[in-house]
Amino acid sequence: MVKIFIALFFSIFFSIKSYSSSNNLFFTTAQFMTYCKSDNIYELGICDGYIIAVSDVIYSLDKKTAQICLDENISIKTLRGSIINFIVDNAGLMNVEANKVIGQFFVNTFQCKK
């Protein structure tokens, strides 16, 4: 009986197709802001993780394409506050994808000195 259950479980489990690609937007800037302004530490963690992820993507790009120089000692809390201020100052970007707005923030704020 256990063998039948295991065989049934695996046949159902492996027959379900999952797709990693999606055409759905993960966050708009307005949605992102709700996490960044939250008092809930888990929601702040979502905000901070998203900021770090965008930063990592920028750093992984060709250095000629995106040149940002971020101070090693800057805290994520400081970055979060600066990004919130950037978004408030550019309220017209609320319906834009959050990753684009955060990327624009990094490029505008942390350009490497030549």
Residue 87 has pLDDT above 90, yes or no: yes
Instruction: Please give the full DSSP string across 33-89, using - where no structure is assigned.
Output: HHHHT-S-HHHHHHHHHHHHHHHHHHHHS-TTT--B---TT--HHHHHHHHHHHHHH
In whole angstroms, give the CA distance from residue 111 to residue 66.
Answer: 9
Tell me the C-alpha distance between 37 and 33, whole Å. Answer: 6
pTM: 0.74
Name the DSSP class of 106: H
> Thinking of the domain 26-109, which architecture would CATH place it in?
Orthogonal Bundle (1.10)
pLDDT of residue 95 exceeding 60? yes
Structure tokens at 81: 């506050």
3-state secondary structure of 103: helix
pLDDT greater than 80 at residue 100? yes
Q: If pLDDT is split at 50, 70 and 90, which confidence band does 10 have?
A: very low
| Per-residue pLDDT reduced to its tens digit, 31-74 | 999 999 999 999 999 999 999 999 888 888 766 666 788 888 89
